Amino acid sequence: MAFGQSAGPAASHRQVAELLELLQNAGHADFKDARGPMGFNQRQAAGRFTADEAQELIDQLQQAEYEADQQPKATGSSERKQKSEQTDGAPKRDDMTDEERAEMERAVRSASTKSLVLEVRRRGWIVTKPK
């Protein structure tokens, strides 16, 4: 095998496109942006994967998305109760009514992860995937 060559058949365009979409949903701009956090080598950072590598990463990212979606559902009601208990004693901001605050929280909860990440980045923050 020559230097820099991958061991196995190249990933299909569909696999690479799906992998890129999943990486973007996870908060990365592209393959190069995900190189450090995902542990990609130089070849992978350029968007070149073997079929097996691409499928393994797709499965990994889909599993992470599924677990992230399931976590709030499992603990949602107990967290809401704890939050309401915590905010009752805390001073409220005068610039928002309870109705406005509730409407804002509903909007944030219903927004997709991708749109939330893009908005936070637009405001100058750095977003990383939780480990």
pLDDT confidence of residue 79: 54
Helices (runs of H) and strands (runs of E) counted in the chain = 6, 0
**C-alpha neighbours within 13 Å on the C-beta side of residue 59:** 6
In a domain, 43, yes or no: yes
In a domain, 67, yes or no: yes
In a domain, 130, yes or no: no
pLDDT confidence of residue 101: 84
pLDDT, tens digit only, all 131 positions of the chain = 566 666 889 999 999 999 999 999 888 999 999 999 899 999 999 999 999 999 999 999 998 888 887 776 665 555 555 555 455 544 455 677 888 888 888 888 888 888 888 888 778 888 888 87
Structural domain for 61, as ranges = 13-75
In a domain, 48, yes or no: yes
In a domain, 104, yes or no: no
In a domain, 26, yes or no: yes
For residue 27, give the nearest of 127, 94, 110 by alpha carbon. 127
Q: Would you say 10 and 50 are in contact if contact means Cβ atoms under 8 Å apart?
A: yes
What is the reported pTM?
A: 0.53
pLDDT confidence of residue 77: 52
In a domain, 120, yes or no: no
DSSP per residue over 54-114, as a string? HHHHHHHHHHHHHHHHHHHHHHHHHHHHHHHHHHHHSPPPTTS-HHHHHHHHHHHHHS-HH
What is the chain's alpha carbon radius of gyration, rounded to the nearest angstrom?
20
pLDDT confidence of residue 75: 59
Q: Give dist(CA 119, CA 125) in Å, integer.
A: 9
